[in-house]
């Protein structure tokens, strides 16, 4: 089933890579932006199924985004992407109910698997 995935990251190259992987391997609709506020808007407008965000962004930290999104849609799984050596922040993100986190660099299968898991989780949440 095709889902809508919103990706937000301040680094355009990373957005391109993720988009390339997800469009190559899935039929999901992929929306990418470097603006966290736009990501929030899109999640609402397009009823997004998964949100992927960088942990560190200049305008809005991933955790802040997480908190905002959790209030808007508690059933929206958020996957955080963390930099090498920032495990502590990732643990904190998990405490704030991030669905999962992936540390860079990671293999493309990892993001595909995590997105898959997130989608299944969301379906289960919506059915419940």
Distance CA 2, CA 128 (A): 21
User: Residue 11 Cβ, how far from other proteins at the closest point, in Å?
Assistant: 5
Distance CA 1, CA 13 (A): 27
Report DSSP letters for 20-75, one per residue.
HHHHHH---EEEEES-HHHHHHHHHHTT-SEEEEES--SSS-HHHHHHHHHHH-TT
Between the CA of residue 80 and those of 2, 35, 65, 127, what are the distances in Å? 21, 15, 10, 24
User: Residue 73 Cβ, how far from other proteins at the closest point, in Å?
Assistant: 25
Residues at the contact surface with other proteins, assessed by CB under 8 A? 11-14, 16-18, 20-21, 24, 83-84, 104-111
Residue 13 or 27: which CB sits closer to other proteins? 13
Q: What is the DSSP secondary structure assignment for residue 85, as one 8-state letter?
A: T
User: Residue 66 Cβ, how far from other proteins at the closest point, in Å?
Assistant: 20
Residue 74 or 85: which CB sits closer to other proteins? 85
Residue 28 or 70: which CB sits closer to other proteins? 28
User: Residue 13 Cβ, how far from other proteins at the closest point, in Å?
Assistant: 4
Distance CA 72, CA 51 (A): 13
Residue 17 or 68: which CB sits closer to other proteins? 17
């Amino acid at each position: 089933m095709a889902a809508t995935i919103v990706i937000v990251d301040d680094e355009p190259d990373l957005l391109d890579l993720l988009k390339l992987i997800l469009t190559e391997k899935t039929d999901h609709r992929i929306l990418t932006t470097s603006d966290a506020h736009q990501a929030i808007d899109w999640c609402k407008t397009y009823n997004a199924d998964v949100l992927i965000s960088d942990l560190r962004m200049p305008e809005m930290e991933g955790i802040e985004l997480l908190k905002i999104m959790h209030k808007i849609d508690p059933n929206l799984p958020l996957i955080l992407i963390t930099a090498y050596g920032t495990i502590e922040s990732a643990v904190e993100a998990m405490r704030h109910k991030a669905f999962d986190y992936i540390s860079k660099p990671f293999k493309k299968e990892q993001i595909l698997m995590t997105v898959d898991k997130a989608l299944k989780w969301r379906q289960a949440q919506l059915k419940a």
